[in-house]
């Protein structure tokens, strides 16, 4: 029985019955007890209500020991996190970071926050713990599939973000100087690579220049270096290749061997030469392609264009000349002044030095320029057409058509002779015939060898190329004239706000007229009539040839219209035998353009050239026309500068020397001048010089010009006025209006001193008549005025006048304000009186 009693199990006391939270009632006594014994009740304040109230689903057949182990692992994990948070920073080594001393004398060392291993990735222990927790959680807590997916996605994103910046953050946090050192190392490596590539380019270039045949393979390496990402290396590579190609390019075009030639057995020297030429040509092609590609980029544009122009100028005979010409001519009208001038100078050098390429490059360049003018509708820079002025042609090129006709006539006449010779040849023996054929063959071979050795161009080939070049040039000039004429016709209809209003611009007209004047002796006679009609319309300024009124539309400048007249006279003079054209319309245009001339707006050189070619060099002049031009030029000299006035007076003197009857204009008759002309009344506003009646007037302008401030002009005017008093005296006139304008231009102009003026007046009183050249010499010999002093005096005079006008205006305004104040005071008095009367 005792054993049975020992085996009896003692059961724990039973738990009280379960009661719901809502049924529990807290009495006032309980609350007072808790407040009085707060020391004992502090345990309840530290309870974690969240973990207590957390809903945990138990799994069936779960042991309580496993649950306790789970809670122990979680508590350990929290303790580890708290320890890591306490160790927030570590003191950096004193060598790496300098300390900071405060005002109180204490020294503080800089600290860097310690990188937690959890940021860079979980450690092995943590991963192990997590795995254990996960395994424990798996056994105790149920997690849904959606929650697992979200956790996996978050972990992957965080791992990707942290993986990229882990190395940089570790280095920067552990060692602050590492980032700076890395940047310095990068800079040093960049400089070292730059210097190494620079030295490499120098070595390769030097090797190619010393022995190009052995080191021709280095060209590919230099081309490859020029494709570097560094801009400075690219520029150095391009310039280095330019220096190498300028030196090693041969004086002939390279022709690569064909497939049949490659199959043939050749010697080592021939094989070596073929390899050298093929490698050189392939590298040269790659270099040109690289230049053309870089030409479109603004950072490399100047270097690329300079290399292209230098290559074309140095070796215009070599391969790929067409590509270089296309690149240069595409920039011949560039808005960049440096690039445009460089391209134009290169094209001019090609035209001048035709011995380098035999004239083939000239023909190609002229054709390309003509195509560009056509493509851009004549809207290009004038420099692109002025390059044609550098062309040179044979003098007998324009007469080639006539000589061809003569040769055709001779061929017809020689046919009979040939028939007779053939009959005689049939009678000769066979031995003599074979002997003659052998001699002719040997003669042809000798001539061919001589031609190849002397590098002389065939006359027929040169003539053919020059004729092609000339036809392209005149085609461009005629297209410009036609486009200008069409734009003048279409401009009145165009709206100023529309894009078609830009049609009226004609920038290529001036260089076109210069070129026509230079090559006028080479123009074909079949085009003379059309050319003169175009020039008449352009000289009229857009109006009809018969309409010269001021109301007619004029869209060209005075200088351009004068150039049209000059070109017409040059064409007529060079083709005087074959061309019969009435130039009266051009005289009418010149007579009207003299009054429209403005010194600050128009070109004085063009006016002086027109006076020289149309008036002084022309031998046939009507008396009425001559008198009209003399009167108008004398009027023009009154209100123009010294250079234009001197050119006009020189033209007046030469006209009076050629036409003695026109000297009646110098006589002051009682009837008001000579009335020997067809029209007795003078009409100064007439548009036709033949109907102006200038013989009925007097050159009273000379009396004013004789008192001109410039001594040379006063001397010239006085010498012209004394021509009528000494009709038997011989006057020598050597200086032309154009030369006089150049001598007295504003750049070379010098004012004569007052002493020089007084001396010249004394000489005039003595009757010392001097010619044009003596007047110019006296002006140059005499001492000069101080031009700055004259300008200062004039400016002072006009400032005084301006001050006077300003004072008058201010006085008027002051009087007006005083009057207004008086009226206002009267109004106030009247108002006060009315108010008093009403009261």
- 645 lies in some domain: yes
Show Cβ contacts of residue 437 under 8 Å, excluding neighbours closer than 6 positions.
none
Any idea which of 400-404, 545-549, 603-607 has the lowest mean pLDDT? 545-549
- 663 lies in some domain: yes
Each residue of 65-106: pLDDT tens digit?
A: 776 777 777 777 777 776 665 555 444 444 456 777 877 777
Question: For the chain, how many structural domains are there in total?
Answer: 3
Highest mean pLDDT among 46-55, 143-152, 273-282, 692-701: 273-282
Any idea which of 197-206, 357-366, 573-582, 702-711 has the lowest mean pLDDT? 573-582
Res 753: pLDDT: 42
Residue 333 reports pLDDT greater than 80: yes
Choice between 59 and 386, residue whose per-residue pLDDT is larger: 386
Choice between 430 and 439, residue whose per-residue pLDDT is larger: 439
**Chain centre to alpha carbon of residue 556:** 26
* Helices vs strands, H then E, count in the chain: 34, 4
Res 427: pLDDT: 56
Res 552: pLDDT: 41
Query: Which of 274, 295, 316 lies at the terminal end of a domain, its last residue?
Result: 295
- Band (pLDDT 50/70/90 cuts) for residue 339 is very high
The two beta strands, 89-91 and 111-113, are antiparallel
Q: Please tell me whether residues 180 and 245 are part of one structural domain.
A: yes
Residue-averaged pLDDT of the chain: 75
Res 342: pLDDT: 94
Residue 721 reports pLDDT greater than 60: yes
Choice between 466 and 409, residue whose per-residue pLDDT is larger: 466
Res 707: pLDDT: 87
Query: Which of 109, 144, 169 lies at the terminal end of a domain, its last residue?
Result: 169
- 311 lies in some domain: no
Q: Please tell me whether residues 267 and 153 are part of one structural domain.
A: no
- 348 lies in some domain: no
- Band (pLDDT 50/70/90 cuts) for residue 434 is confident
DSSP secondary structure letter of residue 89: E
Res 53: pLDDT: 61
- 772 lies in some domain: yes
Strand partners, 501: none
Is the whole-model pTM more than 0.85?
Answer: no
Calculate mean pLDDT across residues 48-53.
64
Domain coverage including residue 751: 611-785
Q: Please tell me whether residues 280 and 144 are part of one structural domain.
A: no
DSSP secondary structure letter of residue 692: S
Query: Which of 785, 807, 830 lies at the terminal end of a domain, its last residue?
Result: 785
Res 499: pLDDT: 34
- DSSP of 454-469, one letter per residue? HTPPPHHHHHHHHHHH
Choice between 593 and 743, residue whose per-residue pLDDT is larger: 593
Q: Please tell me whether residues 203 and 271 are part of one structural domain.
A: yes
Q: Please tell me whether residues 778 and 635 are part of one structural domain.
A: yes
Each residue of 211-235: pLDDT tens digit?
A: 988 889 899 899 998 888 888 899 9
Q: Please tell me whether residues 641 and 701 are part of one structural domain.
A: yes
Phi-psi region of 258 (alpha: psi -120 to 50; beta: other; left: phi over 0): beta
Residue 377 reports pLDDT greater than 60: yes
- 270 lies in some domain: yes
Burial 466-505 (b: 16+ CB within 10 A, else e): bbebbebbbebbbbbbebbbebbeebeeeeeeeeeeebbe
- Band (pLDDT 50/70/90 cuts) for residue 440 is confident
Res 373: pLDDT: 93
Calculate mean pLDDT across residues 113-137.
45
Cα–Cα distances in angstroms (integers) from residue 546 to residues 563, 572, 585, 639, in the given order: 19, 21, 8, 29
Each residue of 587-636: pLDDT tens digit?
A: 899 999 998 888 888 888 889 899 988 888 877 667 888 888 999 999 88
Calculate mean pLDDT across residues 374-384.
91
Residue 24 reports pLDDT greater than 50: yes
Residue 574 reports pLDDT greater than 90: no
Each residue of 291-325: pLDDT tens digit?
A: 999 998 888 999 999 999 999 999 999 999 999 99
Residue 677 reports pLDDT greater than 80: no
Q: Please tell me whether residues 721 and 780 are part of one structural domain.
A: yes
Cα–Cα distances in angstroms (integers) from residue 190 to residues 225, 230, 235, 269, in the given order: 15, 10, 17, 44
- 839 lies in some domain: no
Gap between the Cα atoms of 711 and 760, Å rounded: 7
CB-CB contact of 711 with 778 (8 Å): yes
Q: Please tell me whether residues 154 and 239 are part of one structural domain.
A: no
Instruction: Name the 3-class secondary structure at 739.
Output: helix
Q: Please tell me whether residues 133 and 180 are part of one structural domain.
A: no
CB-CB contact of 769 with 733 (8 Å): no
- 768 lies in some domain: yes
Both tokens of 85, joined, read: 């948070």
Q: Please tell me whether residues 711 and 672 are part of one structural domain.
A: yes
Q: Please tell me whether residues 194 and 151 are part of one structural domain.
A: no
Calculate mean pLDDT across residues 715-736.
71
The kind and range of the H/E element at 111 are: strand 111-113
**Chain centre to alpha carbon of residue 393:** 32
- Band (pLDDT 50/70/90 cuts) for residue 537 is confident
Choice between 504 and 475, residue whose per-residue pLDDT is larger: 475
Any idea which of 242-256, 260-274, 357-371, 745-759 has the lowest mean pLDDT? 745-759
Q: Please tell me whether residues 627 and 751 are part of one structural domain.
A: yes
Across the chain, which distance is largest between two alpha carbons, in Å?
188
Each residue of 632-657: pLDDT tens digit?
A: 999 888 888 888 888 999 999 988 88
């Amino acid at each position: 029985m005792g054993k049975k009693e020992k085996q009896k199990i003692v059961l724990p006391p039973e738990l009280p019955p379960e009661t719901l939270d809502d049924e529990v009632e807290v009495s006032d006594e309980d609350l007072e007890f808790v407040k009085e014994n707060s020391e004992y009740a502090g345990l309840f304040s530290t309870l974690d209500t969240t973990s207590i109230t957390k809903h945990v689903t138990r799994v069936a057949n779960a042991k309580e020991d496993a649950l306790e182990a789970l809670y122990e692992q979680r508590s350990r994990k929290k303790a580890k996190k708290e320890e890591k948070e306490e160790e927030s920073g570590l003191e950096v080594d004193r060598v790496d970071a300098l300390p900071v001393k405060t005002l109180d004398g204490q020294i503080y060392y800089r600290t860097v926050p310690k990188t937690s291993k959890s940021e860079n990735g979980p450690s092995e222990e943590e991963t192990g713990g997590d795995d254990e927790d996960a395994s424990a959680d798996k056994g105790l807590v149920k997690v849904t599939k959606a929650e697992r997916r979200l956790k996996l996605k978050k972990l992957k994103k965080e791992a990707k973000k942290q993986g990229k910046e882990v190395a940089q953050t570790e280095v920067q946090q552990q060692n602050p100087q590492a980032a700076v050192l890395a940047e310095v190392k990068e800079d040093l490596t960049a400089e070292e690579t730059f210097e190494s590539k620079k030295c490499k380019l120098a070595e390769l270039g030097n090797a190619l220049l010393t022995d190009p045949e052995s080191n021709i393979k280095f060209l590919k390496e230099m081309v490859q270096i020029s494709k570097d990402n560094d801009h400075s290396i690219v520029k150095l590579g391009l310039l280095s290749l330019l220096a190498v190609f300028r030196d090693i390019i041969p004086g002939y075009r390279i022709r690569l061997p064909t497939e049949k030639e490659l199959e043939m057995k050749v010697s080592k020297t021939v094989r070596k030469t073929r390899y050298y030429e093929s490698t050189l040509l392939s590298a040269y092609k790659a270099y040109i392609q690289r230049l053309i590609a870089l030409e479109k980029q603004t950072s490399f544009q100047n270097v690329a264009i300079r290399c292209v122009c230098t290559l074309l100028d140095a070796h215009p005979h070599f391969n790929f000349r067409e590509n270089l010409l296309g690149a240069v001519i595409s920039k011949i009208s560039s808005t960049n002044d440096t690039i445009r001038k460089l391209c134009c100078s290169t094209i001019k050098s090609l035209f001048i030095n035709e011995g380098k390429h035999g004239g083939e490059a000239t023909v190609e360049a002229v054709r390309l320029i003509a195509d560009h003018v056509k493509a851009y509708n004549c809207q290009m820079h004038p420099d692109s057409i002025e390059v044609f002025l550098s062309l040179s042609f044979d003098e007998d090129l324009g007469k080639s058509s006539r000589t061809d006709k003569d040769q055709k006539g001779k061929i017809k006449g020689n046919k009979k002779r040939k028939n007779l010779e053939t009959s005689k040849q049939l009678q000769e023996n066979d031995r003599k015939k074979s002997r003659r054929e052998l001699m002719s063959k040997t003669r042809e071979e000798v001539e061919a060898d001589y031609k190849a050795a002397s590098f002389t161009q065939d006359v027929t080939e040169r003539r053919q190329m020059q004729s092609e070049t000339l036809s392209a040039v005149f085609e461009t000039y005629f297209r410009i004239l036609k486009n200008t004429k069409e734009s003048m016709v279409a401009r009145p209809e165009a709206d100023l706000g529309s894009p078609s209003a830009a049609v009226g611009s004609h920038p290529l007209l001036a260089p076109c007229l210069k070129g026509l004047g230079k090559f006028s002796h080479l123009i074909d006679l079949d085009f003379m009539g059309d050319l003169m009609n175009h020039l008449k319309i352009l000289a009229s300024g857009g109006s009809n040839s018969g309409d010269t009124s001021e109301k007619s539309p004029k869209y060209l400048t005075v200088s351009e219209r004068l150039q049209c007249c000059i070109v017409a006279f040059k064409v007529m003079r060079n083709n005087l035998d074959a061309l019969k054209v009435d130039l009266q319309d051009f005289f009418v245009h010149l007579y009207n353009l003299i009054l429209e001339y403005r010194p600050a707006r128009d070109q004085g050189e063009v006016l002086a050239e027109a006076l020289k070619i149309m008036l002084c060099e022309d031998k046939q002049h009507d008396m009425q026309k001559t008198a009209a031009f003399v009167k108008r030029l004398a009027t023009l000299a009154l209100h123009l500068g010294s250079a234009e006035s001197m050119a006009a007076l020189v033209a007046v003197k030469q006209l009076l020397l050629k036409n003695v009857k026109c000297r009646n204009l110098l006589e002051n008759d009682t009837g008001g001048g000579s009335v020997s002309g067809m029209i007795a009344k003078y009409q100064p506003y007439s548009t036709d010089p033949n109907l102006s009646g200038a013989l009925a007037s007097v050159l009273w302008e000379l009396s004013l010009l004789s008192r001109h401030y410039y001594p040379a002009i006063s001397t010239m005017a006085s010498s012209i006025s004394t021509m009528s008093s000494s009709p038997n005296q011989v006057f020598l006139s050597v200086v032309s209006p154009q030369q006089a304008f150049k001598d007295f231009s504003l750049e070379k102009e010098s004012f004569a001193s007052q002493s020089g003026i007084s001396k010249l007046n004394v000489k005039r009183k003595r009757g010392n008549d001097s010619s044009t050249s003596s007047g110019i010499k006296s002006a140059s010999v005499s001492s000069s005025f101080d031009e700055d002093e004259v300008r200062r005096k004039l400016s002072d005079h006009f400032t005084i006048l301006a001050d006077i006008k300003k004072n008058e205006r201010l006085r008027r305004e002051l009087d007006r304000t005083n009057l207004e104040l008086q009226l206002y005071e009267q109004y106030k008095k009247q108002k006060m009186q009315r108010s008093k009367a009403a009261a």
